[in-house]
Amino acid sequence: MDLSKHLAHGIKDLIKRSRLLDLRKWTLSLAKLWLTQQFSMKDLEEANFVLKKKVITLSQASFIDNIFEHYTMTDLKKRNTPSVSGFHLYLEDCPTIAEEKENIRKVPYIW
């Protein structure tokens, strides 16, 4: 199979999968609607307990948000890295004056 046919097959497969995912979401929504019409119930969203076991999830998003709030960086544009790719810090670049040292302490990703 040449490259163009291989890519076309991959793209068709991705489209098929995305349609199946949309179909599953639609089917789930339809099932929830039907159940609420048939029974006196309401959707409680995500479960906190299942079979008397607490459901826990871990997320670093809230931790990162707290760090941004602490350093008053909440209105910054998001990037993959805090500095330019390939940028290196050297010992000679370190601040030597007390005022510079105090200012650099406010930059979370350097120290």
Averaged pLDDT score across all residues of the chain: 75
CA gap 110, 42 in Å, rounded = 49
3-state secondary structure 19-86: HHHHHHHHHHHHHHHHHHHHCCCCCCCCCCEECCEECCCCCCHHHHHHHHHHCCCCCCCCCCCCCCCC
Indicate the pTM of the whole model: 0.28
In this predicted model, what pLDDT tens digit does every residue of 5-53 receive, in sequence order? 655 666 666 666 667 667 777 777 888 888 888 888 777 777 777 788 8
Residue type, 69: E
The token pair at 111 is: 């120290």
CA gap 12, 6 in Å, rounded = 10
